[in-house]
Structure 1
Amino acid sequence: MNKRTEAAPFANEPFVDFGVEENRLAMEAAIGKIKEELGREYPLRIGDEKIYTEEKIVSLNPGDVGMAIGRVSKTDRALAEKAMQAALKTFESWKNVPAEERAGVLFRAAERLRERKREFSATMVLEAGKNYAEADADTAEAIDFMEFYAREMIRLDRINETLPLTKIAGEDNRLEYIPLGVGIVIPPWNFPLAICAGMTAAAIVSGNAVLLKPASATPVVAAKFVELMEEAGLPPGVLNFVPGSGAEVGDYLTSHPKTRFISFTGSKEVGLRIGRLAAETAPGQIWIKRFVAEMGGKDGIVVDETADLGAAAQAIVSSAFGFQGQKCSAGSRAFVVESVYEEVTERIVELTKRLSIGLPERNCAIGPVIDESSYKKILGYIEIGRKEGRLLAGGGRAPGNGYYIEPTVFADVDGKARIMQEEIFGPVLAIGKAKDWREAIRLYNDTEYGLTGSFFSTDEKRIEEAERTMHCGNLYINRKCTGALVGVHPFGGFNMSGTDSKAGGRDYLLLFTQAKAISRKR
């Protein structure tokens, strides 16, 4: 085990302050070391084999598109089937490994990641376009997920001691949480380490075997994570690394009769497609596939006239433009009561115009969006926004050899406008005016999503009503709507935001297990 044993209380990994010169210089040195690895080739990992394929996924730096971060071998259907068979075989032994031993792998992996924190963060600076703080927070969250889920598995294994069943005469009864089988883990590119590690760790520590299909935009950091798990002592075949096309490999594995569960984080459109495929019963399938999905949001912040207006404006800007708005929790909407609307809007515009734009490796506040497809999509929404609102900041491309877009603010946007209703996943904020705080909440709720939201007010009765009526999985009072912490803010939303699962919560591992009640007559 390590210094953070399962008996110790869980504590979140601290973030690094890059205002301290020593920390900034250390990150710059780490980025330099990662640049020495540019162009490295990464294999598939299937069972105990490392397989290099002729066809590769080439990972590019979105902030400097002439820079290839790495070349990752690409899976086809035949190799996907081979990985499935390897996972099925390994599952038969891994499911019998005691929970504390499985947890021990995660504790060791978390400790190794802590030791190599700068390396992983620097990789994301280059591969995902994150600035120093965003990358550091991503790595810290990956550490938190692994340690939290390790402790949770130990707790579930001891459930009969901590939460005993009702006793009856003449019988001994207990409850066990057993693994499901082989699952497909499909993480997103926007948190390419944290969510990848969290989804994978939850499934593995629960006793399942996994086929990990990383996002094609960020496969290098995922490959490094798989290497890390191997170093931590995870047996071959428990985690199989199968990057590839969603249409070819993803659909094939989702529809496979031996797939027991699919864990997915990504867009609503892809999530709904996976849900449809998973619902079909393939020949030879003997179970209903478990589908765990987090599918994004159209999140917002409500501000009333009693609020701290400076704090509200800062929270709106941070929520809208952190990591270029490429978070499912991003606050892409703001609804402000009319008596303070102009003042709050002016403050938002002033703060937005202060944001620096440029290379993440120079630690600019605003970096590139992830790829050309996203770049074109976001610019298209900005053109739509010009017709739906009053442009106050940004509104176009930003200079640089990458996918740079100015942080953009539209005011006077109707609640039914497309930029108020559709997930843009970029640095675009829409502001709407409400006659009072109740109308602002109504406007906030008028969406098919329900992930995060914030309410700014100093009126306790209004806060209490907002807590009851704002319909989202994660509601924050007088703070930004991004930045959920593992174990502190169990994360997951309602409606089209997903399947109501709560990553980093105490019920999350139940999604990767099944409860078996055992009774013995005395």
Structure 2
Amino acid sequence: MTTNTQKAPYKNEALTDFSIEENKKAIQEAIVKAKAALGQKYPLYIGEEKIYTEEKIISINPGNLDEVIGSVSKGTQELAEKAMQVAVETFETWKKVSPAERAEYLFKAADLMRQRKHEFSSLLVLESGKNWVEADADTAEAIDFLEFYAREMIRLSETSIHQPLTQIAGEENKMTYIPLGVGIVISPFNFPLAIMAGTAVAGIVTGNTVILKPADNTPVIAAKFVELMEEAGLPKGVLSYIPGDALEVGEYLVEHPKTRFISFTGSRAVGCRIYEKASKVQEGQIWLKRVVAEMGGKDGIVVDETADLDAAATAIVAAAFGFQGQKCSAGSRAIIVDSAYDEVVGKVIELTKNLTIGLPEENAPVGPVIDQKSVDKIMKYIEIGKEEGTLVVGGSKADGNGFYIEPTVFVGVSPEARIMKEEIFGPVLAISKAADWKEAIDIFNNTEYGLTGSFFSQEDARIEYALETQHCGNLYINKKCTGALVGAQPFGGFNMSGTDSKAGGYDYLLLFTQGKLTSRKF
């Protein structure tokens, strides 16, 4: 039964204004409380059991390497198989639960998370290295996904005929959407609450059972979410939690003949491997597995000479260096027309130099990247960039007991340069010059990705051309290319950015269902 509140028009969760002293004090107190609870041990969740294993995944604060966030039990192939058997068995009862009842668990979880917003945000600050604003947005988006997908499940279920079928005299023809089966959710570190929660509950609310394998860098946030779903009353076995090795656990489950779908967010390389492994029909498998993948991007902002150049420069810096560039939507390229190039570059340099680096818990604009592997990869690309362009800001590791790298800007970069075409996933911005706005759009399209992009201009004809021609899943006009809102800006891209699944959109839940046509003759 839907409440009047749930029937009201959908509204995104409000972001916290930390310029208000009361809010600032609240997040600071939440961080202190979270730090006092660090170092706990977390079990696997498989059906009725909470299993503590001897081998652990140790989660470390990337901004303070002396701080252990927690130790999470590490799954094995044997435990992955156990989770699969539980999920298969539970699916037989869960798929029969009414859509409204399934949605109610999400509404309850959304309410609980809303009450504890700063609690979740503080853990994001400590485990993933997000500052207050980035962490708050992550938590708000998780609430949005819970609320939005619950409403969507009800909407879909209350529509007796989901497609306008041609009616035939003497027959009743209906199309309904039924769940697929057991899904594997492999979630990323960069939105370890929002994307992890959103992908998990999309599968759950549509009647599937889900095995969650979170990112190794942020397993404690995922464990806290699983606890929350348990508190919301979600039946045992609907959601299993099994962190573990990418091959021993992740690939084993991807290849498993009982796996019906895989929902993955991460790198192009891993996404392509999952796609390949999932395509092979295993012995005993009686379906083709569905893969829902979001695989990153090489996103860019195009600026022409008619644009508000101050606004464009501000957007470029925000999109490039928000959460240290560790977003699949990060604007790691800027393509600026010749006549505006020097002015925009000057503004970008000034804004970047004004960014301060420090602890996320102190709300520094720039914090750490996630781990040493990321540091090594980013620094390698910075060295490549020194050969491909002119380094004007940054270019070095930064001080601090963590994985800190200076916000880095290269100018005069060729459209064919590696730092203009390959995803770096760090605080590195490459700027290229175009002869005119059409050439700038051509340069933007010169990549194998197609996730997000921006076009800055005041000319309507040019904007219309960009809307038609810039090839990406999410295109923004006169605004930055990060920060998609659930329900308003369904998120997902083209080409090697994934399978064009639009998370937070009105068709997203259908990806976790299969259409069943029934035709009854009277």
Please tell me the TM-score bracket, short chain as reference.
over 0.9
Q: Conserved in 2, the CA contact under 8 Å of 1:2 and 1:111? A: no
* Identity rate, percent: 67
Amino acid at match of 1:127: E
Three-state SS of the structure 2 residue aligned to 1:520 is strand
TM superposition score normalised by structure 1: 0.99
Q: Conserved in 2, the CA contact under 8 Å of 1:127 and 1:218? A: yes
Amino acid at match of 1:147: E
Give the corresponding residue for 2:248. 248
Residues 406-465 of structure 1 show CA distances to partners (whole Å, capped at 9, x for unaligned) of 000000000111110110000000000000000000000000000000000000000000
Q: Conserved in 2, the CA contact under 8 Å of 1:159 and 1:175? A: no
Q: Conserved in 2, the CA contact under 8 Å of 1:170 and 1:521? A: yes
Give the corresponding residue for 2:417. 417
Give the corresponding residue for 2:184. 184
Q: Conserved in 2, the CA contact under 8 Å of 1:186 and 1:264? A: yes
Three-state SS of the structure 2 residue aligned to 1:66 is coil
Amino acid at match of 1:337: V
Three-state SS of the structure 2 residue aligned to 1:201 is helix
User: Gaps (5+ residues) in structure 1?
Assistant: none
Give the corresponding residue for 1:172. 172
Give 1:9 deviation, angstroms: 1.3
TM superposition score normalised by structure 2: 0.99
Give the corresponding residue for 1:432. 432
Residues 73-128 of structure 1 show CA distances to partners (whole Å, capped at 9, x for unaligned) of 00000000000000011000000000000000000000000001000000000000
Query: Is 1:211 aligned to residue 236 of structure 2?
Result: no
Give the corresponding residue for 1:83. 83
Give the corresponding residue for 1:515. 515
Tell me, in whole angstroms, the C-alpha distance in 1 between the residues paired with 2:369 and 2:342.
Answer: 30
Three-state SS of the structure 2 residue aligned to 1:327 is coil
How does 1:451-462 map onto structure 2 within 5 Å?
451-462=451-462
Give the corresponding residue for 1:71. 71
Give 1:315 deviation, angstroms: 0.3
Tell me, in whole angstroms, the C-alpha distance in 1 between the residues paired with 2:374 and 2:162.
Answer: 48
- CA, structure 1 residues 483+4, in 2 after alignment: closer, same or farther (shift >3 Å)? farther
Residues 137-170 of structure 1 show CA distances to partners (whole Å, capped at 9, x for unaligned) of 0000000001111111111112226755332100
Tell me, in whole angstroms, the C-alpha distance in 2 between the residues paired with 1:132 and 1:476.
Answer: 25
Amino acid at match of 2:444: Y
Give 1:50 deviation, angstroms: 0.3
- CA, structure 1 residues 498+458, in 2 after alignment: closer, same or farther (shift >3 Å)? same
Give 1:519 deviation, angstroms: 1.0
Q: Conserved in 2, the CA contact under 8 Å of 1:171 and 1:520? A: yes
Give 1:247 deviation, angstroms: 1.4
Give the corresponding residue for 1:149. 149
Give the corresponding residue for 1:464. 464
Tell me, in whole angstroms, the C-alpha distance in 1 between the residues paired with 2:484 and 2:260.
Answer: 29
How does 1:3-42 map onto structure 2 within 5 Å?
5-42=5-42
Q: Conserved in 1, the CA contact under 8 Å of 2:452 and 2:473? A: yes
Residues 338-377 of structure 1 show CA distances to partners (whole Å, capped at 9, x for unaligned) of 0010000000000001111000000000000000000111
Tell me, in whole angstroms, the C-alpha distance in 1 between the residues paired with 2:242 and 2:460.
Answer: 51
Query: Is 1:486 aligned to residue 481 of structure 2?
Result: no
CA RMSD of aligned residues (A): 1.0
In terms of mean alpha carbon deviation, does 154-163 or 395-404 score higher? 154-163
Q: Conserved in 2, the CA contact under 8 Å of 1:298 and 1:447? A: yes
Q: How many residues align?
A: 522
Three-state SS of the structure 2 residue aligned to 1:160 is coil
Tell me, in whole angstroms, the C-alpha distance in 2 between the residues paired with 1:345 and 1:300.
Answer: 15
User: Gaps (5+ residues) in structure 2?
Assistant: none
Query: Is 1:320 aligned to residue 346 of structure 2?
Result: no
Tell me, in whole angstroms, the C-alpha distance in 2 between the residues paired with 1:212 and 1:6.
Answer: 27
Give the corresponding residue for 1:497. 497
Tell me, in whole angstroms, the C-alpha distance in 1 between the residues paired with 2:156 and 2:262.
Answer: 22
Amino acid at match of 1:309: L
Amino acid at match of 2:433: K
Give 1:473 deviation, angstroms: 0.2
Query: Is 1:133 aligned to residue 161 of structure 2?
Result: no
Q: Conserved in 2, the CA contact under 8 Å of 1:341 and 1:433? A: yes
Amino acid at match of 1:427: P
